[in-house]
């Protein structure tokens, strides 16, 4: 196989188990559609319990050899995988755009982003140190070593079809774990393409297994992993209710869990902020992937002294954003993922307007483009009684809430069960210190809207979950510590 592939070569509609492409045991398939047009891209294997079990069997067989491979051998495979992702960045980016809808520039950007985690963890694989514990008794040596936890089950959402699964598989493989995975039903093709490249890079059969499933069958497929004591860890990115379900169901076999769940990110603009920078930061953080990321600001709090001015500046920039299919080179916002997503956005905006919100920009569907398009929207006079203040809209809608003082802003920002990302703009150094400490969130953007980096720990607090992806901490979730106590040395 040539290492540089065309888009059509990357479309693999079967499961990948034990190094082979196989149909679902039931023979069932489900259609994956292009959200811009509703056209079916491919009929993909619709897996169930038997397929999930076959994946676990393969992962169990492959585990001892992969665990015992030298760290630099695992690193070399991951580096090759990274290089193949980079060589195929255009075709992978197009595939992401095709099944997920984001503009091509963002799709390609996601490939680079996902690949950066693979490179990071390839390097980290060679730096898994233990400890020599200072001697406590003569004749005894005490050490702590780190070992892979075992088989990891990775379950991912549709909004970053490549990056979300890459940043789970890469640390798992680096640590010496084997993987069974299930991507989201809306976007399984990108993940399957990644597995194709991983195989090409030399990931041995059984080390990485991926099955696709419709929403309906995903439940029994994943349940097989939840109840299988051979699966030692679940790593999940998705909604909080599903995360809680996975935690409950896996409790019986006490699995290690990493849960990257929903957010309800606040974005605070203080009177003393650089307003141009705040508008730009908000555009960057809010409209990435059309507002469909878990770190997108969902509630924007603006201090009364700059409220009207900020609203005007923002509305002008938002109204100029170009909404178009991913194939349009000028597209800045593509279609939303599906009808369910559009319905939620419409419900949130209609509810806000009915309760007195003023539409400064957008506020409507763009049906001439297709069924899944929504105009980028700015709403003034938002209140905490509106649905969009307590639920994540996951679309291109910015509600502006007014506040008078810092304590009020912090109280409102923290008044949510979630705690993933948060942002604020201020030029007062003491305020920056106070607010950074006061925000209940795993991630704080200070005068900055673009926070993503493979070198930084990504994760939440409260009901946004636990565990961290990326950074020097990202491997910990895939390792367990073994204490060795050797006696009789005198
Ligand atoms: P979203 O609302 O963004 O689709 P979900 O949490 O529903 O987020 O989905 C994230 C991932 O979890 C997807 O891969 C989906 O198929 C999977 N999933 C959803 N519900 C379940 C469930 N009950 N059991 C197992 N997996 C599930």
Q: In 431-470, which positions are buried (b, 16+ CB within 10 angstroms) versus exposed (e)?
A: ebeebeebbbbbbbbbeebebbebeebbbbebbbbbbbbb
Q: How does pLDDT run across 328-381, given as a tens digit for each residue?
A: 999 999 999 999 999 999 999 999 999 999 999 999 999 999 999 999 999 999
Measure the CA–CA gap between 244 and 48, rounded to whole angstroms: 21
What amino acid positions are annotated as catalytic residues? 260
For residue 87, how far is its CA from the centre of ligand 1 (angstroms)? Answer: 31
Ligand 1 neighbours by CB, cut-off 6 Å = 155-157, 182, 184-185, 215, 218-219, 222, 238-239, 242, 245
Residue nearest to atom 22 of ligand 1 (CA): 219
Helices (H), 251-319: 275-286, 307-319
Residue nearest to atom 13 of ligand 1 (CA): 184
For residue 238, how far is its CA from the centre of ligand 1 (angstroms)? Answer: 6
Output the six-digit token pair for 244.
Answer: 């809680």
Q: How does pLDDT run across 78-118, given as a tens digit for each residue?
A: 999 999 999 999 999 999 999 999 999 999 999 999 999 99
Give, in words, the CATH class of 265-453: alpha beta
Q: How does pLDDT run across 376-426, given as a tens digit for each residue?
A: 999 999 999 999 999 999 999 999 999 999 999 999 999 999 999 999 999
The overall pTM is greater than 0.95: yes
Measure the CA–CA gap between 442 and 98, rounded to whole angstroms: 32
Domains of the chain: which residue ranges?
7-261+464-483, 265-453
- Spell out where 338-436 has E strands: 358-361, 377-380, 397-403, 418-419, 421-425
Fold of 7-261+464-483: Aldehyde Dehydrogenase; Chain A, domain 1 (3.40.605)
């Amino acid at each position: 196989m040539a290492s540089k592939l065309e888009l059509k070569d990357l479309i693999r509609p079967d499961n990948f188990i034990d190094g082979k492409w196989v149909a679902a045991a039931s023979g069932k398939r489900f259609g994956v559609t292009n959200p811009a047009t509703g056209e079916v891209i491919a009929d993909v294997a619709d897996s169930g319990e038997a397929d999930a079990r076959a994946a676990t069997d393969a992962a169990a067989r492959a585990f001892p050899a992969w665990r015992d491979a030298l760290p630099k051998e695992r690193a070399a495979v991951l580096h090759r995988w990274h290089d193949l992702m980079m060589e195929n960045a255009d075709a992978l980016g197009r595939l992401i755009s095709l099944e997920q809808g984001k503009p091509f520039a963002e799709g390609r950007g996601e490939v680079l982003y996902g690949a950066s985690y693979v490179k990071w963890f390839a390097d980290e694989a060679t730096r898994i140190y233990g400890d020599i514990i200072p001697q406590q008794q003569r004749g005894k040596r005490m050490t702590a070593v780190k070992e892979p936890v075992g088989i990891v089950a990775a379950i991912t959402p549709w909004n970053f079809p490549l990056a979300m699964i890459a940043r789970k598989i890469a640390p798992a493989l680096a640590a010496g774990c084997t993987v069974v995975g299930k991507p989201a039903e809306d976007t399984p093709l990108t993940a399957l393409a990644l597995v194709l490249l991983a195989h090409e890079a030399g990931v041995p059969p059984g080390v990485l297994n991926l099955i696709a499933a419709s929403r309906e069958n995903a439940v029994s497929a994943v349940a097989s992993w939840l109840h299988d004591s051979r699966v030692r860890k679940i790593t999940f990115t998705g909604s909080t209710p599903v995360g809680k379900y996975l935690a409950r169901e896996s409790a019986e076999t006490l699995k290690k869990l990493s849960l990257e769940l929903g957010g309800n990110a606040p974005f605070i603009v203080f009177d003393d902020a650089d307003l141009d920078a705040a508008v730009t930061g908000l555009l960057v953080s809010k409209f990435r992937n059309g507002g469909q990321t878990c770190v997108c600001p969902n509630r924007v709090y603006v201090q009364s002294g700059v409220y009207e001015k900020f609203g005007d500046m923002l509305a002008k920039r938002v109204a100029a954003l170009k909404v178009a299919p991913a194939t349009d080179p000028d597209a800045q916002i593509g279609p939303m993922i599906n009808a369910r997503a559009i319905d939620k956005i419409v419900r949130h905006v209609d509810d806000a307007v009915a309760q007195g919100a003023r539409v400064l920009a957008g506020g409507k569907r763009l049906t001439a483009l297709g069924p899944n398009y929504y105009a980028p929207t700015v709403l003034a006079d938002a209140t905490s009684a509106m649905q969009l203040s307590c639920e994540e809209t996951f679309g291109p809608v910015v509600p502006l809430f007014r506040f008078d003082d810092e304590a009020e802003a912090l109280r409102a920002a923290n008044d949510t069960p979630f705690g993933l990302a948060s942002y604020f703009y201020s030029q007062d150094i003491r305020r920056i210190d106070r607010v950074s400490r006061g925000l209940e969130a795993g991630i704080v953007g200070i005068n900055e809207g673009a926070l993503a980096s493979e070198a930084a720990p990504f994760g939440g607090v409260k009901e946004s979950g636990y565990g961290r992806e990326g950074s020097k901490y990202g491997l910990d979730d895939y390792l367990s510590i073994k204490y060795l106590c050797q006696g009789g040395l005198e």
